[in-house]
Every structure is written in C-alpha cells, then in structure tokens.
Structure 1
C-alpha cells in the first residue's frame, strides 16, 4: 500500500521565486535564505518520493474572489505555471497523479470532508516556490520536477477560513486515504505558506519571531496545541497572512503520531528573517 514517509514545511514567499528566476540567490540579502535550503535539497535527493501531496493556497489565479473553495484537490494530469501578472515563472510544468488524486478525493469525501474537484487549473507561486526551494532551479523546457505532484489548495485568503483543528483532522483523513491506496508508493506531504507576515495596513511588515519559533516547537512536539491556535491569535500574533500556517497543520496531521503511531523525527529546522518583509520557516519531519 502507499504510505506517507515524511512531511516538509516551508514558506512560499513570491519574492523568493523572483530572486531565483533573476539570478539573485548569491546576493547578500538572499544568500542566507537559500543556504538554509541546501540541506533540504540534498535530503530530497536522498529521499526521493514517488508523489508529493502539496498543500498551498491559491493567490487569486486559479480561483477568483467570485468562487473560493475551502479545500480543492487537483486531479489533472498536468498543471501549467500561472501568469500572476508578470508572466508565468520560468519553471517546468507540474505533472500530476490523477489516479492517486481521485482515490484521495473519494476517501476523504467519504470521511465527511467536502473537497472541490479541480480537473484543470494553473498553479501559482504558492506551489512552484516550494518546489524550487526544495528541488533547485529547473530549466523550464528541458528540466522537470523530481516526481508527480498533487496540488491541494486551501482558502486562507477570504474569510471564513478553516480552523487549525479542521486542517489537522483533514491531514489525518488524507493519511488514511493514502494508506488505503493499493499501490506501493512513497508519498511526502508538504505544508506551505507563512510564517508571520502582514502585507497591508498599519502593521505591514510585521514579523513575530517569538510566535514563529513557538509554533515550530508545537508543530514538532505538541501538534494538538498548535491545532488549537485560534484565528484571532494568528492575526494578532502573526499578522493577517500568518493564517497561512493552518496549511502546515494539514501536513502535520498526516504524520503517524496523529493516528497513534510513533513521533516523527525532526531532521531539519530553519528560520530566517527577513525575506521581502516576511519570516521564512522550514521544517522536515520523517515518520519513524
């Protein structure tokens, strides 16, 4: 059967993608950010999955404010990089895994989670920046991502957004769905977005290192406590865009200990500020 072997957590700052695409990774401002992912890139080469289930949020590209699904799973065979106003990122298209996607959708919906099925969509920086950070820059024509990717979009743009507890429980349902798939697949689940940041208003530029590191502590050692963080606490402590951290809880809920198994091993933890007025967090957990 398929199994989730690890979870990866990372910010998906759009300026990181621009720095990669414009060859700025060695500039003094950006170099510490990209050095922080060198371990993860080697780790991914050493622990190459068959499929990545990537949790992210769409930034009004695949979905406009006219229609915003709370949870949406991509079931297509491939996904093109989205044009977010300055042309698509120069990265390879994303190859999907329609069979596993359809199976997860069937299983999770039967576990009473309502998912939107998306048979065609483009994917924006929320998905492609994490891939670039963990896989390195790829040639848009001759290059390829290391394995198929299942995009899973979460609404953290327009309230009401799902609670941390709902996301954590959804991760459990996804893990159960993967485990019931009748093929021997090594699956990784990635949670992306965050950490603390606010992009508008009087608090624009807010970064809360204390909250961010406490969240990382909870995610590793006490995910139940992380799942109980309220919306108002995210907004107050981590800024209006800090709510993106609920997507990390989907990945955390899919780890073995959330269903009574062994606690995962933290093999990488990285935190850096600033990166375009945003806190960058990165974590890798392995099921043991």
Structure 2
C-alpha cells in the first residue's frame, strides 16, 4: 500500500514542519574524532536517541483535531525517524526515515560532534542549496527527551529545526510507518468501549495500541489510515477491520468526545471523493 524504498529524494523532504528559532552555534565540527571518542559518543547518545520518533507537531495537532486526515499536513517532510544503535558500526549508523508518511528513506548518522553540544553530523544533503547540511541531536527538558533535526546554512547557522517525540523504545520490523500508526492508535482509538446493537444488547470491546481488537465478533485487527498523499478516494478519516485479508471491512470514523462513531463509506458521483454513509457502529468509551 505504501512505503517503497528509494535512494534519492527531493530537497523539499526536510523543509516542512520546522521552527524558525535561532540557536547559538558551537564550532566543534573541526575536531578530530578518534575511534575512542566515537565509541564514547555512541555510548553517550544511545540512551537518548534510540527508538522510533514521530514529529512532535503531528502528535500535538492530532490530540487537538482527533482527525488523522486534518493533521496529516503535519507529516510533511521527515515525518518519523527510526534509530537502532544496538547494531551500530563503530563510526556510524543508518537512520530510517518516513518521508511524508508515504515513502521510506534513510541517512547516515556519524559519531562525530556536531555544532550543538548534543548533536552529531549526518550525510543528509540539502539538494536545493548544496552547501547546506543537517545534524541530529537531542534535548532534555525535565523528564522529557526530544530529538532535533537541525538544518544549517553554509555559514554554520541554524536555518530551522524539526522536533520529534519518542513513541517506541526500539525500532521494529513493521515498516517506517508503524511509529505513526502506533501513536495514532494510542491517541485516538486504544481503550475499552461499550457497543450497543440494534437489539439493545451491550458488548465490551477493546482496542490496543498495536492494532488488535477483542470482543468484536468477526474482527481481530483494526487499522487507522494516516497516509493521504495518494488518491483518489482518500480524503476522509478511514478505519478498517481485518486489513490485508479477505474479510477486510472498510469504514469511515469520527470521534466525538468519548464516542467513536464508525460509518459506512459512500462515494461521490465521479468516484473521486469519499462521502459519509450511514452510522454502522457507535462505541462509547468506558469510564
């Protein structure tokens, strides 16, 4: 459905979702990095940058809108990063990238000091301005650790930065989109509900962060669409049961306070746009 591996990406990948905050620059790039200091940097950074990270702007916006479709604009550029330092080489490691939440990419993170006290150099180029470059670092505020992707100009000044929140402690083999899927499930769907059918019978339904559903007859898994890059028929919030198997059922959904409303899908006359059908299921979150 998505996430084709590719090697060459447009420069616009890292232009979106960035703050314009300036930061002081520390000229540490010129330092020579020995094998010992590289190992020290690996050990220093591992507890803070290991895991799967999703852009913080998306998480904040999704918590407000309750709509992956509306908040998908916050996934432009480097939407998620996956870092596994357990198998890192002595001088570098490969960082996985979800680009626009639609394509898979990667760059190399070098265990060489960057311009910030807690940043490292990368090989991700700026294709629009060849002399610009990127570094990856972390920031600690109280008990929270954030990842920061810094964009520098040729004069070693920060143009912008992207902030990320850790959503999983370790990289998975489920694809670069999984971190975005996981945090979307956690924020919007995961929990316990009561479903009342047309006969007045109440059932207990549970959804978890990993996309599993229990107590819902005929359904074992669920999937919330977060990729709205390609169309047609991809312009409303979609919710599927048993995705990827013959018994897959596709719906639309809305969240209204503590209620998850699941609707049948209708289509526009030209079959380009999705339309809201009749309400199929109404699930009320348990107190």
TM-score by length of 2: 0.24
Which structure would you say has the larger Rg? 2
Structure whose residues are more often strand by fraction: 2
Higher relative contact order (CA 8 A, sep 6+): 1
TM-score by length of 1: 0.24
